[in-house]
Structure 1
Amino acid sequence: MNNYLKYIKDDETIDDLQLKELQLIQKKDGFKFGIDAVLLSDFAQVKKKHEVMDLCTGTGIIPFLIYGKYNPKSVYGLEIQEEMVDMAKRSVKLNSLEEKVSFINEDLKNIEYLKKLKKFDVITVNPPYKLNNAGIINPNDKLAIARHEILCNLEDVIYAARILLKDNGRLFMIHRPERLADIFTIMRKYKIEPKRVKMIHPKIGKAPNIVLVEGQRDGGAYLKWDAPLYVYDESGKYTKEIDSIYWRE
């Protein structure tokens, strides 16, 4: 670990992703990745020939998980917060992945910039979930930015995906079930056809609290529902499906 100290600051830590010895730099007391990132990277269908872009990438957890799981041609992450991009770029050096994983510090609402980028086979995104209409929120609060639609909203994200996707390219998104009608409506507005949905339930008997959605740029109208996934079993332990996703089996 001593060799790693040159990559981190005093208020940061290095987390072992338990996947191909990959490491991720995160704040000790800041926003930490959770099950959402792991579920999204598992839900995404990525091939070795693909080029992938992760929007709202934060400190880069999803690009690193996608690289570790699928080893695509290249993986990019786009994030507006400069401090997070700095951490993500240091994680690239930490893992010696300069030829595979890259990060861009930019606003996804900067449409002219997006149009200058290459087109991607796959877009992934774990966007802010919460509508920015409940109480006073500090716009400089990094946790709030990650959770609330302060700097971008659902339409901004889907419009950006439309611009960046290749013809028939795929968008993979994780969100909350109560926003599903909005997701479908906005995806169709920008001609990204909803193709697959998977509901995530905390446990059997509980309503879903996470939804995974796959869309295809200019795809035909056909929607498939995957079998639901339950996080915990009746004894309160992770289900076999979750253990498998976390590479514990």
Structure 2
Amino acid sequence: MQQPVHVPLYEGERIDDLLTHELKIIQSHEVFCFSMDAVLLARFASVPKRGRVMDLCTGNGAIPLIMSTRSGEAVLEGLEIQQRLYDMACRNILLNGLEKRIRIFHGDVREAVTLFGYGQYDLITCNPPYLPAANGEVNERDHFAIARHELLLNLEDVIRVSSQLLKNGGKLALVHRATRLIDIVTLMRQYKIEPKKMRFVHPRRHAEPNMVLIEGMRNGRPELRIQPPLIVYEQGEEYCEELHQIYYGQRDSLA
């Protein structure tokens, strides 16, 4: 990693520790911060050692930053529609001295094929908005509403565009609510992405899963491998041993 550089912080912003490989990240309570979902996806996705990787809805760039610890010589990119988050992501890349390895673009996922072309990527990741626009109480602050609700982008948009951007044999990795699993699998197959591996995330043992990690291959053959469940909290509020290893850099992958 290159030497980090000084970057400006704006009102309400802070620098947090990503807890792996000495990476830092600029965040603000005024916009949607990265969460465990992003960390799990970045560790679950089959990151190639070479090639081209795109993170859709990249927010402040947490997923490309974490994937940079696993990607070898792969080119990492992120696409974000919100100007404030795009600017924050660009500064996060500079903060960590990764401007030669990660590129951030400002734009709409629905126009990504026009921006980047068909069949350009080996891997696409996305931590998309989880809630349909009509469901739940929509936060009046746009940054939160756009991140949580399908106001500007829905699940079908993500999967359709990903299918167009992927090379034949390229992979799409998503993290989403477990309750949307049937929608995800149905749409993947509709757009010629065959689910290949999946893992449920449970908050506690004996609780229903609240998240699902799933990866599919463009024009892949049918064969889905279901990995052992990830139990976040084993006792009280203590993370399980696997999460400790992920967060503190002793383990590079959830795969």
TM range (shorter): over 0.9
TM-score (norm 2): 0.90
Q: Secondary structure at the match of 1:38?
A: helix
Report the counterpart of residue 177 of structure 2 in structure 1: 176
Amino acid at match of 1:119: Q
Deviation at 1:19, TM superposition (A): 2.0
Whether contact under 8 Å (1:139, 1:145) holds in the other structure is: no
Whether contact under 8 Å (2:7, 2:95) holds in the other structure is: no
Deviation at 1:4, TM superposition (A): 6.7
Distance 1:173 1:72 in 2: 22
* Structure 2 portions without partners, runs of 5+: 251-255
Whether contact under 8 Å (1:51, 1:72) holds in the other structure is: no
Report the counterpart of residue 142 of structure 2 in structure 1: 141
TM-score (norm 1): 0.92
Distance 2:37 2:112 in 1: 27
- Select the structure with the greater relative contact order (CA < 8 A; seq sep ≥ 6): 2
Amino acid at match of 2:168: D
Asked if 1:37 is matched to 2:31, the reply is: no
Distance 2:76 2:140 in 1: 29
Q: Secondary structure at the match of 1:62?
A: helix
Asked if 1:66 is matched to 2:67, the reply is: yes
Deviation string for 1:134-161 (max 9, x for gaps)?
2663676111110111100000000111
Distance 1:133 1:68 in 2: 38
Distance 1:194 1:68 in 2: 25
Q: Secondary structure at the match of 1:158?
A: helix
Q: Secondary structure at the match of 1:9?
A: coil
Amino acid at match of 1:159: R
Distance 1:40 1:130 in 2: 18
Whether contact under 8 Å (1:172, 1:215) holds in the other structure is: yes
Asked if 1:95 is matched to 2:96, the reply is: yes
Distance 1:45 1:149 in 2: 26
* Structure 1 portions without partners, runs of 5+: none
The worse-fitting range, judged by mean Cα deviation, of 11-20 and 168-177 is: 11-20
Deviation string for 1:157-180 (max 9, x for gaps)?
001111111110011100011111
Distance 2:23 2:139 in 1: 33
- CA 1:241–1:178 in 2, change beyond 3 Å: closer, same or farther? same
Distance 1:18 1:117 in 2: 36
Deviation at 1:32, TM superposition (A): 1.4
Report the counterpart of residue 158 of structure 1 in structure 2: 159
- CA 1:23–1:236 in 2, change beyond 3 Å: closer, same or farther? closer
Q: Secondary structure at the match of 2:87?
A: helix
- CA 1:6–1:100 in 2, change beyond 3 Å: closer, same or farther? closer
Instruction: Tell me how large the CA RMSD over aligned residues is.
Output: 2.0
Report the counterpart of residue 86 of structure 1 in structure 2: 87
Q: Secondary structure at the match of 1:69?
A: coil
Deviation at 1:73, TM superposition (A): 1.9
- CA 1:6–1:42 in 2, change beyond 3 Å: closer, same or farther? closer
Distance 1:42 1:67 in 2: 11
- CA 1:135–1:242 in 2, change beyond 3 Å: closer, same or farther? closer
